[in-house]
Amino acid sequence: MRTPSIVLLGASFASYLADAQLFSNQLTNISEVAYYGFSPPVYPTPQGSGGTDPKWQNAYARAIALVSQMTLEEKVNMTSGHVGTCVGNSFNISRLGIEPLCFADAPNGIRGQEFVSAFPSQILVGATFDRHLMQRYGEALGQEYYDRGINVALLPVAGPLGRMARGGRNWEGFGADPYLSGAGMRAVTHGLQSQGVMAQAKHFLLNEQEFRRNPGKYGEAVSSNADDRTIHELYVFPFMDSLHAGAASVMCSYQRVNNSYACQNSALLNGILKTELGFQGFVTSDWGAQLTGLASANAGLDLAMPDSIYWGNNLTESVRNGSVALSRLDDMVTRILSSWFRLEQDKSFPSPSIYAYNVSHDIVDVRGNHAALIREVGAAGHVLVKNSNNTLPLKKPKFLSIYGYDAKLPDAPWTTSTRFGGGFDVNFGWETFNGTLITGGGSGSNTPPYVISPFQAIQDRVLKDGGILRWDFVGVNPTAYANSDACLVFINAYASEQFDRTSLTDDFSDRLVRNVATNCSNTIVVIHSAGIRVVDNWIEHPNVTAVIYGLLPGQESGHALVDVLYGDVSPSGRLPFTIAKKEDDYGLLLNSTIDYGPFPQDNFTEGLYIDYRHFDKYNTTPRYEFGYGLSYSTFAYSDLVVESLNGNVAQYPPQDNPVPQGGPAALWDTLYNITVKITNTGKVDAAEVPQLYISVPTAPKWQLRGFDKTHIPCNGTTTVIFPVTRRDLSIWDVTAQKWKLSAGTYPFFVGASSRDVRLEGFIHI
């Protein structure tokens, strides 16, 4: 590779070469790289064109015409965001009618503002296993972002996917499976952008731990090292859904990927995102994730956030001397403006209404009737994992005892940035024991207008039924009351951006549950958790009769819980991750990399085998498997039918020119329909979540490839159809660099979880 004449944009020449050339003997054919740690160079950046979508094509035509009227300095200004009214802002060009773009968090509601809603976190939305609710969730978020004048919402999240059981930000994603995560990414992207707000899918890519995600005093950031197939089939997979749904923007992540920083990683941005997946939108750096100027420009970064020290005048000079091609700069600006036109934000988009708490301002209330949806989604995402002797639903109990710090409102939450301003707080004790948990910490947290605590909602219901309550929010060995119909114990498990969890349990909570259960024969445990929470220190206690994972339900937490506790809603949530019997069962997937060397490495040697795939591979019995969840009813599965649609089953999909956004068009073709009938054999109307798992040759034994939440009246029967696409049956061929469909037999089962097999069949290709 010829090294061009360059201007160093805040980084050393060696840093540029590390990405452009790697080493002098680096293989240039990506398919030949069969080892971890090297990211092959892919240059130049493909220029956006509008692809195959007429709306994108029209937006590009308008953007190209506008860019032709801009000066070099104006173009450069468009590539660097800045701090201002919003968490990120682009520059305006008044003479051409270009307005600044407002970027804002968070994935579950606008952060740090008043009169906005605190929605459930994405991990709970994933637990609903309900595409319809996922889209309504995205639409409601879009309405609030639009009404506040926010052009770009920093969501949805598929990175982290959830590789590390203790990952600090796992709760921001939909769950530890690429198909489930992809369904959430698609639905939320579509819902959000249907309201005129740009989705920014994040964090691209392999952002699976918080430890050493950034360079610092110990050296460089951690390098997430994964093979080509794993990158595609696990970590790119859910982003494909977001892109196919039309995502206008993608955020690149902090850490290195195969030893090249993600925001200057040409293999990821130029190669996978903009070539293989035909991405037409723009790539934004995570805040402060741009670490070089020349390398990031040529690798495919389009917009640096915020206040870039590497571009500006340096980028202007680099274009003038040819280090960065003028066509590359034009493409950066064209991608940003075409996204603006694609979402029609040039047409009377509201001005930003973003205010500081300590500044008097007009009230802009954007909540609408979203509280009802928040309650509905919250209830749908509660996962009942134990219900001995039909303890639940409660039947108008006269005397309830409530224990645990998580039952009440947090004390003075506004005095710390973590609750609810979105800052970081490593004081685990304060976070864990200071009240009910409705969201995690960091930039992904939201800002509730109020919080309905579990205690408040239960108290209202008990008073309505003429009963009484006793409670203790602080004691680890509280008083037992002989007349209690049930004892409810509330515990939680906090997680946040900027650090990973140190344990999947805690001694105080475990002792509290055991002590209550020792003295109360009907103990019900509710867990609000930001991810996996191991429960084997008490789950088999005979007096622990029911357990609910409430996850992170947002502002209507208490109401959503009571709806399930009292049977107003039959529980239908399913675990979006696997609960092990002991932490060590996660093996290499438990801990983040702890490495204080100058170049820390995290080798994804498990390949495709994360979460339930890991447990299947090693024949390890989990406590509760992925996809598991109980109901107040029972269901029978019958009448399995496999229908071939006679689609194209050639080994590789036809070549597209240009490639549609999201990948080759044939990948999305439905090749088969698998049909089953589900009958509600219980005594109450309820929803069931049948799940399809397929065994693909040379892949993990079982992979989720379909689900459908279906509401069925008592004694009713419904038909569920699982469309199976080419992508669902394909693997990534690292030699051909294409998605490959193999001839042969594909066993599958339809069941109630990843290990609850109800019906079995085969697809023959």
Say how far apart CA 396 and CA 747 lie, in whole Å: 47
Find all residues with CB under 8 Å of 666, minimum gap 6, and list them. 648, 653, 654, 726
Say how far apart CA 659 and CA 86 lie, in whole Å: 34
Residue 733 main-chain phi, psi, to 5 deg:
-85, 110
Strand partners, 724: 672
Residue pair 158/173 in contact (Cβ under 8 Å)? The answer is yes
Is residue 507 annotated as part of the catalytic site, yes or no?
Answer: no
CA-based torsion, 624, 627, 630, 634: positive or negative: negative
SS3 call for 525: strand
Question: Which residue has 């699976």 as its token pair?
Answer: 208
- ∠ CA(626), CA(744), CA(763), 5° rounding? 55
Enclosing H/E stretch for 143? helix 131-147
Say how far apart CA 296 and CA 318 lie, in whole Å: 13
Say how far apart CA 441 and CA 530 lie, in whole Å: 9
Q: DSSP class of residue 413?
A: G
Find all residues with CB under 8 Å of 309, minimum gap 6, and list them. 10
Enclosing H/E stretch for 711? strand 710-712
Residue pair 67/267 in contact (Cβ under 8 Å)? The answer is no
Which one from 286, 330, 500, 616 is the annotated catalytic residue?
Answer: 286
Say how far apart CA 160 and CA 155 lie, in whole Å: 12
Length of the chain counted residue by residue = 765
Find all residues with CB under 8 Å of 22, minimum gap 6, and list them. 38, 39, 40, 41, 260
Compute CA 754 distance to the chain's CA centroid, rounded to the nearest angstrom: 20
SS3 call for 599: coil
SS3 call for 328: helix
Kindly list the catalytic residues: 286
